[in-house]
Amino acid sequence: MGAMQWLEATAFSAYLRESLWTYPIIESIHVLGLALFLGFAILLDLRLLGVGMRHVKVSELTERILPWTFVGAGIMVVTGILLFAGDPAKFYGSIFMRIKFLMLGAALLNAWYFHHSSDYLIRLPNWDGSMATPTRAKVAAVVSIVMWCLIVAMGRWIAYFLPA
């Protein structure tokens, strides 16, 4: 908790907090990053579920679209840290912020687990172009969609229900 008070006392944090335009501009970029990150992640999930992007192979999406979701994630992390730095003690104390971080961990673990599963690492060539995707891919996709949508909800509610 001492670290949060230290951060809050820095001139940088005060600048973010008191700026007229900087903070809303960072918020806007955070939401634009959402379109890139969440949008492309959902397209990949729909393909893994076998319900969308039927003419595109799974490997094409993971090779050519996944790098863009990393760009989106990078934008979200950098702008997210800046937003946090504007009012660190309050955000640190927010229950929704804490739930959001737990869910971020779970969502990343889910993605990591699927990308290191034998269905993806070894057997992908068998189902790469098919809409009949393995159960493990479908489960990973549903977990991914649910988790990222809940993370959006937690993020929105942080600003509504800040501790006094």
Partner 1 sequence: MLIELTRWLEHSALGQGIHNSSWLFPFIEVFHLIAIGILGGAVLLIDFRLFGWGLKRHSASELSRDVQPVLNIGLVTLIVSGFLLYASEGAKMYFNSAFRFKMLCLLLAVVYTFTWHRRIAGRSEDPEAPPNAKLAGALSLLLWLCVGLGGRAIGFI
CA 132 to chain centre: 27
End-to-end Cα distance, the chain: 16
Between 36 and 85, CB nearer to partner 1:
36
Give the integer Cα–Cα distance in Å for 35 and 123.
31
- Nearest distance from C-beta of residue 149 to partner 1, angstroms: 5
Q: What is the DSSP letter of 33?
A: H
Among 5, 19, 28, 126, binds partner 1 (CB under 8 A): 28
User: Residue 149, interface with partner 1 (CB under 8 A)?
Assistant: yes
Q: What is the DSSP letter of 56?
A: S
> ∠ CA(38), CA(57), CA(139), 5° rounding?
55
User: Residue 107, interface with partner 1 (CB under 8 A)?
Assistant: no
Between 14 and 31, CB nearer to partner 1:
31
Q: How many residues line the site for partner 1 (CB under 8 A)? A: 32
Given the rule CB under 8 A, which residues bind partner 1? 24, 27-28, 31-32, 34-43, 46, 52-56, 60-61, 64-65, 68, 149, 152-153, 156-157, 160
